[in-house]
Amino acid sequence: MIPWHKLPLPFALLELIGFRNRMRQQNLYDTETLPAQSRPQPQPSPDGQHLVSRTPEGSFNDLQQPRMGMVNTRFGRNVPLDATHVDVAGLFTPNPREVSRILLSREQFIPATTLNLLAAAWIQFETHDWFWHGRGDAHRRWNIPLEPNDPWPQEHRPMEVARTAVDPTRPDGDIAQPPTFINQVTHWWDASQLYGSSADTIHKLRTHSDGKLLIQENGLLPLNSANGIDLVGFDDNWWVGLTLLHTLFVKEHNAICDRLQEGYPGWDDDTLFEHARKINAALMAKIHTVEWTPAILGHPALQISMDANWWGLLGERFKELIGRVGDSEELSGIVGSPTDHHTAPYAITEEFVAVYRMHPLMPDEFNFYRLKDGSLAQTADLHQVSGNRTRQLAESMPLADLFYSFGVSHPGAISLHNYPRLLQQLQRDNGEVFDLAAVDVLRDRERGVPRYNQFRSLIGREKVRRFEDITSNPRWAEELRRVYNNDIDQVDLMVGMFAEDLPEGFGFSDTAFRIFILMASRRLKSDRFFTKDYTAEVYTQLGLDWIDNNSMVTVLKRHYPAVAPALYGVENAFAPWRKLGG
């Protein structure tokens, strides 16, 4: 059979639609059907605000099932629940640390030359909106084995990491097989990384005047005095890329408030805030759908299909002039179509978390340039631009210069032998030291995510029979054979995806892409604020126009106009920018 990505364009599009429709029927599983203690139900707001605004904790998106997708509810699954049992006896086979050392270690930086570094920052910014298992259970820890020849520093032995926190909703004494885990942020595409997943967090981030969010006169976000990191809705795994994007979209929120106040001068602070929040979240979803995704998956069929998710196959201009043609999501886009959860209530899934392990995007070293002439201002390593050290960098250079530096730098390619060295000996600000690559492998095993070959079969791909069927790189195939003791069914999902030969133009594997096909549309189709309530009555016509008429490029130019020369002729802000100077 000819792979879908080598078919003529019309047939490739039909294949993609077929994949998505089959997976909607066969790859959505509800973990809420497993045993659970009674849980309190969210209460509707007395003034009915939950009907027209996103709630802080994500409740009442589905009015018939108000708990669906809210914070502290379970991750769903894309594979049958009986395929998610944890093999405790095989949890360390092969040793995750050896998988990291032999297969993942970056020998030299392999760049993804079709992207800029904003693409790497963006996907972490977005995943912080979608999922978080929390920091783990400090009282229950895994001891990752270290071989005698392992150069791991003696002072940091043994390598211990907290286990994923248990699901507190399981009944007492339940052995939790198949396992379930809790998402500690909302499951919805609601910009919770910016605003938070609780009323208390939102309260701390607001000025409580004119609907706006807090930002300092120097253009930087306030600092959280407890950890020295920007005060935001979600601040885990912080680095300068997150400072840039959080600051940018706080400014965008405030700009939306200014425009709303012009159009609706009688509105109070809360009304301005709630509308700006919905508009800003939808703009981010649009940017991800029609800009970031086609940048990292550079195939013509993907460009068309992602535009179609938002606008429909009839296109943006048709929708702008004529409007929707019935309820068809194919012709007129998912946005504004009827809500549909298909075969399971909406939730982010464990398998979705697994396929978004994209740490090779991160460089170990960064060059920062002056926008005025393109000259090199300073270099820094990943440790120096992360955690509470980020503010020193943000204060030492204009943010416009930092945005430009990201725009002309490349992220890493998502492949074997390209995992950031500094993440393989990650030093957290709290003193923990561990190999994040080894932990990535362990987390999938611990959470019952099937290994690569079984995963392929469960999502409709053929199993591979030989290591050479995974990769055409003979060295990689031999390394896989050696590390996995010639047992192809033991290859970990992340490792198999990193090893795969990629479709032309793709930045990540076709196996990961199958989950993406399903969940990228599901994040829109299940959310009433992108479907039946994507209306002028809920957003205002001004808000819908703002979303339609803006992009990552216009947002950047609005708040950092100095970057405009570097964006001249650049249609996609996640593609490499023009270099300035000599």
Model confidence, pTM: 0.96
Which of the 8 DSSP states describes residue 250? H
CB 500 within 8 A of CB 456: no
Q: 381 - beta bridge partners?
A: 365
Cα 497 from Cα 440, distance rounded (Å): 13
| Integer CA distances (angstroms), 575 to 115, 243, 306, 523, in order | 5, 20, 17, 24
Per annotation, catalytic residue among 5, 50, 128, 253:
128
Catalytic-residue membership of 133: no
Helix (H, G, I), strand (E, B) or coil at 110: coil
Average pLDDT along the chain: 95
Site of tokens 């007492």: 172
- Please, how many CA atoms are within 13 Å of residue 576, restricted to the half-sphere of its CB? 11
Residue 106, token pair as written in the block: 């970056």
CB 412 within 8 A of CB 361: yes
Give 521-549 as a 3 state SS string. HHHHHCCCCCCCCCCHHHHCHHHHHHHHH
Mean pLDDT by 10 residues, the chain (582 residues): 90 92 96 88 94 97 97 97 94 97 96 97 97 91 94 93 92 80 97 97 98 97 95 96 98 98 97 98 97 93 90 86 86 94 97 97 97 95 94 96 98 98 91 94 97 97 96 98 98 98 93 94 97 97 97 98 97 96 76
Nearest 5°: phi and psi at 561?
A: -60, -20
In one letter, which amino acid is 542?
Answer: L
Nearest 5°: phi and psi at 69?
A: 75, 5
pLDDT at 431: 82
| Integer CA distances (angstroms), 21 to 44, 130, 299, in order | 34, 23, 20
Cα 240 from Cα 218, distance rounded (Å): 17
Residue 539, token pair as written in the block: 């957003």
Cα 394 from Cα 391, distance rounded (Å): 5
Task: Identify the burial level of 144 via C-beta atoms within 10 angstroms of its C-beta, where 0-12 means exposed, 13-18 middle and 19 or more buried.
Answer: buried
Please choose, from the candidates 356, 350, 484, the residue with its C-alpha nearest in 3D space to the C-alpha of residue 471: 484
pLDDT at 324: 87
Q: Please name the residue ranges forming H helices in 269-408.
A: 269-287, 293-296, 300-310, 316-321, 329-332, 350-355, 390-396, 399-407
Radius of gyration of the chain (CA): 23
pLDDT at 582: 65
